[in-house]
Amino acid sequence: MVDPAQVTGAARFDSDLKPPGTLHAAFLRCPHAHARVTSLYASAAEKMPGVKSVRLLKKPGAEILWALDEVAIVAAVSEERAGDAVRAIAVQYEVLPHAIEVRLGLEAPEQEPDAALAAVPIRFKGTYKLPAVARLGLEPRGGVCIGTDAGAAPWELACAEAARAARAPVKLVLERAAEIAVGGGDPAVIAQVELGASADGKLAVWLSRSFSSGGPGDLQLPHLFTVPDQRHRHTAVATNTAPQAPSINQACFFTMTALDDLAALLAMNPVDFFLLNLGLAGAVEKDSVEAIEIADRLMGWRQRWHARGDAGKRSVRRGLGLSLGGGVQMADVAVDVETGLVRVVKLVAVQDRAPEADAKEAEGRLRDHLALGVSRALCEEKVFDPVTGRPLGGDFESYKIAGLRDAGELVIHLKTGAGKPLESAPEAAIGNAVANAIGVRVASLPLTPERVLDALEKGKPA
């Protein structure tokens, strides 16, 4: 259900708050992805009428490691005065070489053949890639600080310090370019996965290595399953992008994508493949079996599923895909093989709900997660200018976001259970459905028409 307050503009966010005497904050941001501050003077800004506080967040000699990092913050009586003061700060940089792409080391020499893989009759190897994405919502990040000293994001801390220095409430709202660059999100990740299974489809070996941009943090693979022989190595590649750690949703995507490809190699219905291997899922096995059965009924999976690539010869082809996270998601997609356009027809999600939880609120949160997953599956991707190292997207065109209408029909079933944390990752279900429809894997998100057509032209399964 859509929240009427949000679509009519009646909903109030932090950015709408304005306590009496509120000042407005603005940042001086570095335009370079990698630079050193050589000089920084704020005396002209401090003397301007209406400017109540100027704080230098970097000092001469400081190294800037990503574009739009905060250099100074100004608090003034209006947004216009704050902007004028920022422009009055004199700063010079020594621009340094930058790196924004994750090469991910997959060109390195292959390891020696693995004994565990050599011992099983079915083997599969795939490489998949996820782009860096921002976490954009209806509400821009920001807040109103009244001299607090609670720890949070760097810009929030700077706002709180500005409020304390000015002895007045200070309002800060990130502009869209900063929201995309430093407002949080997931890093770009690429993973190479090798799988081994018995002839009847029982998973026996998982070998993987992954590389991500951004800051520290591990990518835990495989997600949900504990394979008898499993090894994983993750490397965080140093790039001049804001630090971000890999997420559970990304781990889910790589796991469910690789397992779906293995099921296709085995010529197995993914439902049968996952049911066969859920004994490796530990404590969530029983709940997952029940959730798959419910989702199967709501989607009509067994009646409608076809083998990968057996969708006929029409220009628009339908396919089904499955994914596990904290629940089960199934996707029904239509793919136009002449234009490469992917349309999500229907999403089914089955999720636990704690007995005491509010059903309406839980359904709304899950609906939001599903819509976000559709957006990431179809269009969200941080694109960086190779010359400046800055992410594009401040013009609302370079960083596209799908709308609720793009999610198709949403069918949600909340079953009473332990109420596990929400882990809705329909990106994998949608990607698997596209592979089922067109017969080849589109190994990188988002599923743009160009990538779909490129996969069809190559015509080789992952």
Count structural domains, the chain: 2
Q: Which of 152, 182, 212 is the last residue of a domain?
A: 182
Backbone phi and psi for residue 308, each to the nearest 5 degrees, phi listed first: -60, 125
Secondary element (H or E) of residue 164: helix 154-166
Percent above pLDDT 90 for the chain: 55
CB 194 within 8 A of CB 124: yes
Residue 149: band (very low, low, confident or very high) from pLDDT cuts 50, 70, 90: very low
| pLDDT per position as a tens digit, 33-82 | 999 999 999 999 999 999 999 999 999 999 999 999 999 999 999 999 99
Kindly state whether residues 214 and 170 are assigned to the same domain: no
Structure tokens at 194: 């090798």
Examine the domain organization and report whether 203 and 164 are in the same domain: no
Task: Provide the CATH number for the domain around residue 41.
Answer: 3.90.1170.50
**Residue 148: its pLDDT value, please?**
46
For 150-159, 211-220, 327-336, which range has the lowest pLDDT when averaged over its residues? 150-159
Do residues 441 and 253 touch, judged by C-beta distance below 8 A?
no
Instruction: Look up the pTM and report it.
Output: 0.88
- The highest-confidence range among 94-98, 148-152, 217-221, 283-287, by mean pLDDT, is 94-98
pLDDT at res. 180: 84
Q: Is 293 exposed, middle or buried (0-12, 13-18, 19+ CB in 10 A)?
A: middle
Residues 278 and 246 occupy one common structural domain: yes
Cα separation, 462 vs 460, in Å, equals 6
Q: Report the mean per-residue pLDDT for the chain.
A: 87
Q: With 50 as the cut, is the pLDDT of residue 383 above it?
A: yes
**What pLDDT is stored for residue 137 in this prediction?**
65
CA distance 380 to 135: 10
- Amino acid code (one letter) for 186: D
List of residues 6+ apart from 23 with CB closer than 8 A:
52, 53, 75, 76, 77, 82, 162, 163, 166, 168, 169, 170, 171
Containing structural domain, residue 322: 185-458
Question: Are 244 and 170 found together in one domain?
Answer: no
Choosing from 182, 214, 241, the residue where a domain stops is 182
Query: Is the same domain home to 274 and 286?
Result: yes
Average pLDDT of 313-317? Answer: 94
pLDDT at 397 over 80: no
Establish if 357 belongs to a structural domain.
Answer: yes
Residue 119 covered by a domain = no
pLDDT value at 367 more than 70: yes
Residue where a domain stops, chosen among 129, 152, 182: 182
The structure tokens 């976001």 sit at 401
| Per-residue model confidence (pLDDT) at position 173 | 84
Residue 135 lies in a domain: no
